[in-house]
Amino acid sequence: MPGSGKSTVGRQLARQLGLQFVDCDSVIEQQIGMPIRDWFAAHGEDAFRDVEQSVVDDVTQRQSVVIATGGGAVLRPSNRNALHSRCHVFYLRSSPEELHRRLRHDTHRPLLQVDDPLRKLRDLYRERDPLYRRTAHFVVESARPSVQALTGMVMMQLELAGLVPMGELAAAGVAARKDAADESPAPAVHGSGPAT
């Protein structure tokens, strides 16, 4: 979901774990050569999802990264499969009302440039929450904690699952990329929807 904290928490998690951070939306904007909002207006959502699918496939094959996906990445089955099978995915879950509070002044997210953004968030949540839950390995409630607290919650889940050494201080909406060499994951982020 937009505004769940995927990029912010992912960036913080990557910093704390000493890993590279990859924001799928930034990668997409580099590839298309314009802001996503402009691409949406010119080419539509389906064309955007095609580019996003290619980026998700690419970044989920990288090692030692924390990945933040766009909230709609879970709409395509191939993205859900890539995320779930190649990463340790965290769903940073927030209610539509909380997301609306965070995003009420946002002018950059194309899907929220509507007359009733709260209603749109409720519709998106109804559609995406089951997909996020199916894709995620972990669900972290992200209602009102600070970035540091939320990152700590994700890190604690990584530690309890044996994915990082106990005592490392970090966390995020995370999907940890499984390292092909030894099958130990390196965290990657996915967002309100799963952290992938």
Residue pLDDT, tens place only, 121-131: 899 899 999 99
Residue 69 maps to a domain: yes
Residue 49 maps to a domain: yes
Residue 20's nearest CA partner among 59, 71, 72 is 59
Q: In this predicted structure, what is the pLDDT of residue 104? A: 77
Instruction: Report d(CA 135, CA 78) in Å as an integer.
Output: 11
Residue 150's nearest CA partner among 24, 8, 20, 23 is 8
Q: How many domains does the structure of the chain reveal?
A: 1
Dump pLDDT digits (tens) for 78-123: 999 999 999 999 999 989 898 888 877 777 776 677 788 889 889 9
pLDDT at 188 over 60: no
**Pairwise pLDDT comparison (14 vs 176), residue with the higher score:** 14
CATH number (domain holding residue 62): 3.40.50.300
Six-digit token string for 112: 């929220």
Q: How confident is the model at residue 196 (pLDDT cuts 50, 70, 90)?
A: very low
Six-digit token string for 72: 């709609």
User: CA end-to-end span of the chain, whole Å?
Assistant: 12
Q: How far is CA 134 from the centre of its chain?
A: 14
Residue 1 maps to a domain: no
Residue 85 maps to a domain: yes
Using a pLDDT cut of 70, give the percent of the chain over it: 83
Residue 105: give the domain boundaries: 6-195
Residue 70 maps to a domain: yes
Q: In this predicted structure, what is the pLDDT of residue 143? A: 76
pLDDT at 27 over 80: yes
Q: How confident is the model at residue 167 (pLDDT cuts 50, 70, 90)?
A: low
Residue 36 maps to a domain: yes
Q: How confident is the model at residue 76 (pLDDT cuts 50, 70, 90)?
A: very high
